[in-house]
Amino acid sequence: MSGSFLVFGAGAWGTALSIQLVKSGNNVVLSSFDKENLCQIRKDRENKKYLPGFKLPKVVGVEPFSEKLLTNTDSIVVCVKSPYFKRALLLLKNNVGDNNLVWATKGFDPDNGGLLSSMVTSVVGTKTKTAILSGPTFAEELAIGKPAAITLATNTIDNPLLLAESMSNESLRVYLSPDPVGVQLGGGLKNIVAIAAGISDGLEMGANAKAALVTRALDEISSLGLLFGASEKTFMGLSGMGDVMLSSYDDKSRNRQLGLAIGGGLSFNDAVALQKGTPEGANAIKTLVENGVVNDQQPVLHSVYEVLYSGTKSNTIAKELMRRPIKNEDLR
């Protein structure tokens, strides 16, 4: 079953998703805040700014946002970075109507550390059909058509199977989850873990250390998830363990690259400059710690804040983590 999608956010991932949605037989329009970049994409059929080297199919519409784009749309997929998520909601809120509002944005409300779903409720209202799209997917591999799987989480769309089927094809498999809270947490917190894993590798601490670090961090994610009311099982799925593995072990991860640079001796500011922008994990941990969501009860996650924003040396934090009191592995 095909559908009609408005993908809002013409970065690398939004562009790659548009390619996949067309491959699935859907009508797709790509839009964003950046009118200049949209003009370039429409002219060259390539997003040279964010996803160079991948041609956009001619059937993908590329248009600045206007209300008329939603006239024949079934689903809106928001793919902007978390600092711009509220701005996107404010732009769309009066025109969502009966459309599904899906977001692939990973992060947290910068004002209070809350879930993006709470922001959606406050801006758009409670009657909108919503879903979260999250999982282990790099834009480049998605665009070229290498096999990938992702999770669509919703408890408000009446028949989410139809939506998942319309998005799926021979190279993209969309699984369903009834746990939007857990899927959001997994997608937002995995970026912080990727920074920690990068720092570990930058310090040349070895494979044993990184395996322990990532495993304990995943346990911290699960424990936070339970506090938020999520299902623990969700964190063993694509949006939890899957995304943690991808971002912590593959050098295409911008969050991992940030950690590598810092572990290798660069300051946070210099590492951010090297990435040409602040990766989502750095924004996320700042928001979560400064709003009291993450604290020293999540030592791996909290240690990333200490390194990035408190000026603590990476090797000092590594020693402190190893000197913590001994306890049962399953004790939270």
- Determine the Cα–Cα distance for residues 122 and 111; give it in Å rounded to an integer: 13
232-259 pLDDT, tens digit each: 999 999 999 999 999 999 999 999 999 9
Confidence of residue 332 (pLDDT cuts 50, 70, 90): low
92-123 pLDDT, tens digit each: 998 898 999 999 999 999 999 999 999 999 99
pLDDT of residue 262: 97
Respond yes or no: is residue 81 known to be catalytic. no
Question: Would you call 218 exposed, middle or buried from its count of C-beta atoms within 10 A (0-12, 13-18, 19+)?
Answer: buried
At residue 274, does pLDDT exceed 70?
Answer: yes
Confidence of residue 330 (pLDDT cuts 50, 70, 90): confident
pLDDT of residue 329: 87
Q: How many CB atoms lie within 10 A of CB 328?
A: 6
| Helices (runs of H) and strands (runs of E) counted in the chain | 14, 10
Query: 327: which residues sit within 8 A by CB, 6+ positions away?
Result: none
- Which of the residues 106, 190, 210, 286 is marked catalytic? 190
pLDDT of residue 254: 96
39-89 pLDDT, tens digit each: 999 999 999 999 999 999 999 999 999 999 988 899 999 999 999 999 999
pLDDT of residue 331: 61
The count of C-alpha atoms lying within 13 angstroms of the C-alpha of 131, restricted to the half-sphere facing its C-beta, is 25
At residue 195, does pLDDT exceed 60?
Answer: yes
The domains of the chain, with CATH numbers, are 4-178 (3.40.50.720), 182-323 (1.10.1040.10)
Is this structure's pTM higher than 0.85?
Answer: yes
Q: Looking at residues 137-155, what average pLDDT do you find?
A: 98
DSSP 8-state secondary structure symbol assigned to residue 69: G
Q: Looking at residues 217-228, what average pLDDT do you find?
A: 96
Average pLDDT, the chain: 96
Query: 48: which residues sit within 8 A by CB, 6+ positions away?
Result: 40, 41
Q: Is 29 helix (H, G, I), strand (E, B) or coil?
A: strand
pLDDT of residue 313: 96
- Determine the Cα–Cα distance for residues 309 and 282; give it in Å rounded to an integer: 9
- For 220-272, the DSSP string reads HHHHHHHHHT--GGGGGSIIIIIHHHHHHH-TT-HHHHHHHHHHTT--HHHHH
pLDDT of residue 75: 97
